[in-house]
Amino acid sequence: MSQTIAALSTAPGGAIGIIRLSGADAGALLRAVFTPAGGGDLVPRMLTYGTLTVRGRVIDRPMAVWFPAPATYTGEPMAEIHCHGSSAVLTETLTALFALGARQAGPGEFTRRAFLNGKLDLFAAEAVNDLVCARSPQAAANAVAQLGGHISHEFTDLRQRLIGLCAQFLAVIDYPDEDIDDLPRDEIARTLTDAAARLDGLRESYERGRALREGLPCAIIGRPNAGKSTLLNALLGYDRAIVTDIAGTTRDTVEETMRLGALVLRLQDTAGLRQTDDPVERIGVERAMAAVADARENGVVIAVFDGAKPLTDEDRFVIEQARGARRSVAVRNKADLGAGFAPEALEPDFGAVVALSAKARTGLDSLTNALTAMTGLADLPADGGLITNARQADILYRTAQALTRARDMLAAGMTPDAVVSDIEEAVEALGGLTGASAREDIVDHIFANFCVGK
Ligand code: GDP
């Protein structure tokens, strides 16, 4: 069994700090530093109060738990010490554990061991990281459903079925007396079509899954005094950007992350987009342009207008900036002061047009509803069926392509060896998704993105 690893699994600065151990000596190492308060030995899986002794000194009175193998997260013996969160106590305890033979765990090493010991497949292991990083309850729900293994099983079952198909084809190739016509072509074609469609559907969910996991870049644009800063503050619920009525005061970009239900927006309050001779302000305008370009391509553009006044040339410049964006919403702000122009003036250029008052904080729902609908995050599949990373999306694409090619070859009456090579390619690709045949460097790369202690 591998060397015992130890790491602090909680973020520094909390009231409690949890040190985790995994490996053959986890139980022995725990017993070397921890003594249950009532005497006697540790009871498996029971959190127990006691003393933590390092170099002959009691340094904490923590809770500790011992998990004998194999029913543990990693499949190895494990232990946890729930200390008080003092960095001095935690460092001293870890140092003592290292002196006793443990070594510092690398990023994601606990989960990597769980994967290597067959406790979860690679797809579920990646969901663990998504769960740790989830920024909305919906992102957490998607990750925890994936962790539950429903989709992993689906991939494993499909891979087994495809391996079975390969065997059938190879039998025909090896024993040429058996004609390919002996194979149930229609049934095989249906299996290939259905599988390709399901995998394609999952791949298509990647855009939404990515938005769910990473959030969307969001640029709030509009001419000076349209109410961008006021809107940002209203959305954030507190005063973050400076609000004044002197034109051009929002000179810098201010980044905030904001959650609206399932939607996480990486907000950028941009300097007023307008032509200017002021060199400082021009830097702000350039930054605003870059923020808008990112939001146009990958996220959402919120264009704010002073809805109480007729549209100006500056507003038309803003419309130009938003035109052609992947997702865009026009906000007719200052609805409390009446309407200076009709919504139809903006409708052709925006995905949605809403009216609200940022100052009075009324009508904000119309904006959040439009944004949620636009990103397709209003209704999420309950089975964890949103794919959240590019590697998985790429594998799904390649697998579906290979299956479609195999189906087409079958339909065109090609020889079994031509059909089987595409199915084998699909089997190989799917193995990369579950980890059944993932390359070691890819596995290394995946776990390198985890935090230490998970
Ligand atoms: P920005 O330059 O686009 O960021 O505009 P600000 O957010 O600084 O707002 C400019 C002025 O418009 C400020 O005096 C705000 O109080 C005012 N303002 C913003 N939103 C509204 C609104 O919904 N109604 C009214 N009556 N005034 C608003």
E strand spans, 26-145: 34-36, 48-54, 57-60, 63-67, 78-84, 103-104
Instruction: For the chain, give every domain's residue range.
Output: 5-105, 125-205+387-448, 213-375
| Torsion (CA) 411, 415, 416, 421 in degrees, nearest 10 | -90
Q: Give me ligand 1 centre to Cα 226, in Å.
A: 6
- The sign of the dihedral angle between the CA atoms of 303, 306, 312, 313 is negative
21: three-class secondary structure by DSSP: strand
163: three-class secondary structure by DSSP: helix
Q: Give me ligand 1 centre to Cα 261, in Å.
A: 25
Instruction: Identify the residue whose C-alpha is closest to ligand 1 atom 19.
Output: 227
Identify the top-confidence range among 271-275, 281-285, 316-320. Answer: 316-320
254, 269 Cβ separation under 8 angstroms: yes
With a cut of 80, say whether residue 351 has pLDDT above it.
yes
CA triple 376-430-379, angle to 5 deg? 15
Residues belonging to the chain: 454
The pLDDT assigned to 281 comes to 67
Task: Report residue 240's pLDDT band, with 50, 70 and 90 as the boundaries.
Answer: low
For the entire predicted model, the pTM comes to 0.80
For domain 213-375, give the CATH superfamily: P-loop containing nucleotide triphosphate hydrolases (3.40.50.300)
With a cut of 80, say whether residue 84 has pLDDT above it.
yes
User: Nearest to residue 125, comparing CAs of 135, 113, 137?
Assistant: 113
Instruction: Report the pLDDT averaged over residues 277-298.
Output: 78
152: three-class secondary structure by DSSP: helix
215, 264 Cβ separation under 8 angstroms: yes
CATH code linked to domain 5-105: 3.30.1360.120
121, 144 Cβ separation under 8 angstroms: no
351, 374 Cβ separation under 8 angstroms: yes
Instruction: Identify the residue whose C-alpha is closest to ligand 1 atom 28.
Output: 359
* CATH architecture of structural domain 125-205+387-448: Up-down Bundle (1.20)
The pLDDT assigned to 370 comes to 94
Q: Which of 68-72, 157-161, 240-244, 344-348 has the lowest mean pLDDT?
A: 240-244
Query: Assign residue 109 a region: left if phi > 0, alpha if psi is -120 to 50, beta otherwise?
Result: alpha
Instruction: Identify the residue whose C-alpha is closest to ligand 1 atom 24.
Output: 334
Which DSSP string corresponds to 265-279? EEEEEPPP-S----H
Contact 250 CB / ligand 1 (< 6 Å): yes
Instruction: Report the pLDDT averaged over residues 296-304.
Output: 94
The pLDDT assigned to 241 comes to 54
Instruction: Report the pLDDT averaged over residues 357-377.
Output: 92
Instruction: Identify the residue whose C-alpha is closest to ligand 1 atom 13.
Output: 245
Contact 357 CB / ligand 1 (< 6 Å): yes
Other CB atoms within 10 A of residue 255 CB = 12
User: In terms of C-beta density within 10 A (0-12 exposed, 13-18 middle, 19 or more buried), how is residue 356 classed?
Assistant: buried
User: Nearest to residue 124, comparing CAs of 102, 83, 155?
Assistant: 155
Q: Give me ligand 1 centre to Cα 116, in Å.
A: 57
Residues 37-82 pLDDT 10s: 988 899 999 999 999 999 999 999 999 999 999 999 999 999 999 9
> How far apart (Å, rounded) are the C-alpha atoms in residues 118 and 401?
29
- With the most atoms of ligand 1 within 8 angstroms of its CB, the residue from 220, 221, 230 to mutate is 230
Residue 335 Cα: closest atom of ligand 1: 23
Residue 222 carries which side chain, given as an amino acid letter?
Answer: G
Contact 224 CB / ligand 1 (< 6 Å): yes
Contact 334 CB / ligand 1 (< 6 Å): yes
Which DSSP string corresponds to 64-113? EEEE-SSSSSSSS-EEEEEEES-HHHHHHHHHHHHHTT-EE--BTHHHHH
Q: Give me ligand 1 centre to Cα 251, in Å.
A: 16
Q: Give me ligand 1 centre to Cα 333, in Å.
A: 8
Q: Give me ligand 1 centre to Cα 245, in Å.
A: 7
> How far apart (Å, rounded) are the C-alpha atoms in residues 221 and 229?
10
Calculate helix-pair angle for 122-133, 150-174, nearest 10 degrees: 160
Identical fold between 5-105 and 213-375: no
Biggest CA–CA distance in the chain, Å, is: 88
Task: Report residue 378's pLDDT band, with 50, 70 and 90 as the boundaries.
Answer: confident
Instruction: Identify the residue whose C-alpha is closest to ligand 1 atom 17.
Output: 227
Q: Give me ligand 1 centre to Cα 155, in Å.
A: 53
Backbone angles phi, psi at 125, to 5 degrees: -65, -40
The pLDDT assigned to 251 comes to 45
Contact 359 CB / ligand 1 (< 6 Å): yes
Q: Give me ligand 1 centre to Cα 349, in Å.
A: 23
Q: Give me ligand 1 centre to Cα 311, in Å.
A: 16
63: three-class secondary structure by DSSP: strand
Residues 139-181 pLDDT 10s: 999 999 999 888 999 999 999 999 999 988 888 777 766 565 5
**Residue at token pair 């349209």:** 226
